[in-house]
Structure 1
């Protein structure tokens, strides 16, 4: 099927027949059920009343997550006495792990437990991790003369990575569970679902704002034990709130494992490599319907497309297989829908790759930006501003831009373009990528100016106010409104019905990959620039280094990445329910 065909008809067709208009039906039309496993009633379940409980739990999780990530580099350098490079690498690795574990949570949610029970289980793990981290911060006080730094570090890292595991079941499932509360077949609820992703990210940033101001101040001025205890108690409250909303949630039934279905397609295609592919427009030789008595784990069918044609071999019914695969193993013969699910994920991959560099840029806000802020004058009037609190401007930027985007920009763009979303998902992502480049350019110029003044100063006092960092945080925050929210919506929207949690996890995986990439770049830069006894670009004393070179390097990578994204987006073609690349 070519791109023009994709514009005329949807790639996903739900099997459930609609006996009346969806907007007036008593029950949802997307297969969701209530707590008693009965068809969900529209008036009694879901929508914003259910999202209140879901977003409340997400808010609590975000306060805890940002209470760690915003100031972790300060904790590592000031309390555990790690170097600047090691601390920045540790922070990026921990954040990367926190966004890698959602693959585990998404697999369990889509395959075994469902989103509600997965969130509940991982919230418990998260609370345990925060408790261990809080106890580790109190070790110097509790152990007294027998204090051991190695024991302190062991318990601190145990708490950190238990929290990273806990967040893995929350990040992909909260977003997907919230989107499940809106029936996509109802025009009013479908439009509300688009707003949900904006307000979901808004709640994240309220939590981030609280952490960057109140919690960070407590950590720096009262103590780390109290600073970690506050989000721990808030996490317990979030757990109680989430359970309290269980009667009004809409639940998607658990299907088969999406990873198993994808693996079956790959294995079957390889095993059938000798079979001859039919003509691109002829799908009569392919298995469209699973044999009676079997299930794919998905209640929707997908139309055949002609891209990635080698995978079609997994669905070819060989003449020797008899009655349309009635007795064939699913590892030998798959349905067209299974094949198209894997194709959908492959089509999204170039977009996913483009987002890795974006998240590598935003990773600077929790690592090198803070180290840069520690070399600047943090006195603002009568107040002393912790460097980690400058991330408040990132949060404020997000909180200002989301209402403007949702209530002003989208309606204007909708009237101009005639599209329901206003801007297309790819246009939204492109704007975010461009803003990340602008943020890196500003950071490079700022650091070059700071270095020039610092080396000219005779008294050794910080020559620049820390408030000069605010525009860099604000620009990257505006970029997050476009790119971070956009990638969540894109992957949820484009993923097949049985892969919604996995699709959201893939968006989170881009954050993980961006942070891991940042860790690798930091390590490589340190190794290359410290040869022959040189101080390097990022020494412990930044006045002797060239952090500005690092920011310029990230800006150049961002430009290359933006060009790659534009190339991919030009080849992208959309349809009403999914999208494909042109052949």
Structure 2
């Protein structure tokens, strides 16, 4: 690692790496940068639904739809950032560009809060019929700000973690770094959802967004100041190219017969991978055609002559691994979709319930959801220090990732059922002109947080263990990708409910939000059954050549 080049594409201007670069001297820069940028991003996103409704006169359900798209985008862009960093630009370039883009987006948000021409006129008498909708220009500025903010926040989220870990050579040191990294991420998110939201609600939106600008500038500056101390890893090209080659080569050789002789397949120059993969796996055997040797495919030195005609057996098996994992990955989409819908609709509930705690304090709407975040943080610590060691003592081994995910499914379904019952009670109280306390919304958020403490680490652990070696760097980003898909799907699902039912009017007191939650319970139960089926059918790739009941994916 000490001899890693710093002259990566897009990073050629950086100083040459030497033995003094990397290590603990870089730790404060990465942790401080993460904390500042997370504070900036969380500060403008946590309370955005209130800003859209109160200052841009956007109807409540439409505002939640916008929030779902934003949450989906900030979960999708980390995947894009990881691919760009690993394949072309390197982490350093992706981080500073993303931080700068984020700064531009927040500055535009400040303008929408301070310049009268950038936002519509305030509503009169709190009646929607007297509200002026945003103009085309105002929408354009708003959406440009939100887009830049999403790109910036997403582009730094995982690349900072990856580049920070690259500064250390020992797994133990990397583990310590990640512990502090995630602790800083959660702490900053909680701070943003409380302190900055309180400023936005109690002082002004301009001051709240202004704090986010300062935090973003600080994060970018700290990251750039630490540049001479960093170790830079050269991007090695996109691993997806090899997967695409397998598909193309399979199609081109589709009519060719498969050979039972292992010597007819290509294992790499000198056959160096043959000791690990003595024969091509039988599952998805039609893909083995991509590694079937034919005349003119191989040069005299053993290298591939036509790269889109021939692949190694290892590359074929990598694609097979992704295909095997896909059903389990897809089952987690409908695990995250109800969470996205619940969080956005809980915000609407928080707008109309009694948020007073005592005579002098009112909980900001944007701070209500922090309960889920806090419960996740507490549970992660409790599980790590108590539950998993106890489980290991009783069972003989810690719970497998698939078992953790399964528990997360059950808790998520329970959270939706609690949400439905609480909303039914709230509607009953509203009809009798009573106002429910915000504390009634806490149990469902706590349940979601506990469930996330089970399924989120379980998914990260599962993908990291099961993904091919060539795709390890983006394996954890797959969780972010499925969250992005889930938020986009939640937007489409809410749109469909609004078109086909009367459950989600702009005034939720006139709707049946509880029916939406019961619908999510049904979807969750069906999806849990799908997950159980996928988990039982899943086999670790090594299980085809060796029966290993202790494999992470082996069903029990």
Q: Identify whether the pair has TM-score above 0.5, normalized to the shorter chain.
A: yes
Equivalent position of 2:459 in the other structure: 487
**Is the 2:463–2:475 Cα contact (8 Å) retained in structure 1?**
yes
1:476, distance to aligned residue in structure 2 (A): 1.0
CA change 1:528–1:201 in 2 (3 A) is farther
Q: Distance in 2 between matches of 1:578 and 1:124?
A: 44
Task: Spell out the pairing of 1:555-570 with structure 2 (5 A cutoff).
Answer: 555-570=521-536
For structure 1, the residue ranges without an aligned partner over 5 or more in a row are 1-26, 530-535
Shift of 1:412: 2.6
Note closer, same or farther for the CA distance 1:417–1:200 as it changes in structure 2 (3 Å cut).
Answer: farther
**1:360 maps to which of 324, 329, 337:** 337
Q: Among 162, 171, 181, which residue is 1:176 paired with?
A: 162
Whether 2:374 is the aligned partner of 1:396: answer: yes
- Greater relative contact order: 1 or 2 (C-alpha under 8 angstroms, separation 6 or more)? 1
Residues 103 and 216 in structure 2, CA contact (< 8 A), matched pair in contact too? yes
Q: How does 1:145-184 map to 2 (within 5 A)?
A: 149-180=135-166
Count of residue correspondences: 526
1:45-74, Cα deviation, whole Å (9 max, x unpaired): 44x765553343233332233223322211
> Which residue in the other structure is 1:288 paired with?
267
Cα gap change, 1:243 to 1:283, in 2 (>3 Å)? farther
- Check if 1:236 corresponds to 2:217: yes
Which position in structure 2 is the counterpart of 1:14?
none
Contact 2:400 2:552 in 1 (8 A): no
Contact 1:202 1:402 in 2 (8 A): no
Question: What is the aligned partner in structure 2 of residue 223 from structure 1?
Answer: 204
Distance 1:391 1:301, change over 3 A: farther
Contact kept? 2:324, 2:538, Cα under 8 Å: no
Task: Identify the residue that residue 523 of structure 1 maps to in structure 2.
Answer: 495
Shift in Å, 1:519: 0.2
What SS class does the counterpart of residue 284 from structure 1 fall into?
A: helix
Where 1:525 maps in the other structure, the secondary structure is: helix
Of 249, 252, 270 in structure 2, the residue corresponding to residue 271 of structure 1 is 252
Residues 225-275 of structure 1: CA deviation (Å, up to 9, x unaligned): 211111221122222333444566555442121222211111111111122
Aligned-residue offset at 1:182: 5.7
Cα separation, 2, equivalents of 1:474 and 1:220: 24
- 1:203 maps to 2:184: yes
Q: TM-score scaled by structure 1?
A: 0.81
Alpha-carbon offset, residue 196 of structure 1? 5.9
Structure 2: give runs of 5+ residues left out of the alignment: 7-13, 122-131, 543-547
Pick closer, same or farther for the CA change 1:570–1:144 going to 2, 3 Å.
closer
Q: 1:305 & 1:143 partners in 2: Cα distance?
A: 61
Q: Tell me, what secondary structure is at the counterpart of 2:266?
A: coil
Shift of 1:40: 7.0
Confirm or deny: 8 A CA contact 2:119 2:138 kept in the other structure.
no
Matched, 1:541 2:495: no
How far apart, in 2, do the equivalents of 1:202 and 1:51 lie?
Answer: 14
1:471 equivalent to 2:443? Answer yes
Deviations, residues 286-333 of structure 1 (Å, cap 9, x unaligned): 2111489xxx9x9x9878533322222111112454558645311111
Report matched runs for 1:67-86 at 5 Å: 67-86=43-62
User: Residue 273 and residue 172 in structure 1: after superposition, are their counterparts in 2 closer, same or farther (change >3 A)?
Assistant: farther
Given the two structures, how large is their TM-score scaled by the length of structure 2? Answer: 0.85
Cα deviation digits, residues 81-106 of structure 1 (max 9, x gap): 11122111111112112222233212
Please give the alpha-carbon distance, in whole angstroms, between the structure 2 residues aligned to 1:318 and 1:403: 56
Aligned pair in 2 of structure 1 residues 52, 468: CA closer, same or farther (>3 Å)? farther
1:214 aligns with 2:195: yes
Cα distance in 2 between the residues matched to 1:283 and 1:180: 38
Deviations 1:7-62 (A, max 9, x none): xxxxxxxxxxxxxxxxxxxx78xx96789776979xx744x765553343233332
Is 2:22–2:168's contact at 8 Å kept on the other side of the alignment? no
- In 1, are the aligned partners of 2:112 and 2:119 still within 8 Å (CA)? no
Moved more, 234-243 or 536-545: 234-243
Equivalent residues of 1:341, 1:496 under 8 A apart? yes
CA RMSD for the aligned pairs? 3.3
Aligned pairs (5 A) from 1:83-482: 83-140=59-116, 149-180=135-166, 188=172, 193=175, 200-246=181-227, 249=230, 251-279=232-260, 283-290=262-269, 304-319=280-295, 321=297, 326=303, 328-364=305-341, 366-381=343-358, 382-419=360-397, 422-457=398-433, 462-482=434-454
Please give the secondary structure, in 1, of the residue aligned with 2:436.
coil
Residues 581 and 478 of structure 1, relative CA distance in 2, 3 Å threshold: closer
SS in 2 for 1:367: helix
Kept in 2: contact 1:123–1:166 (CA 8 A): yes
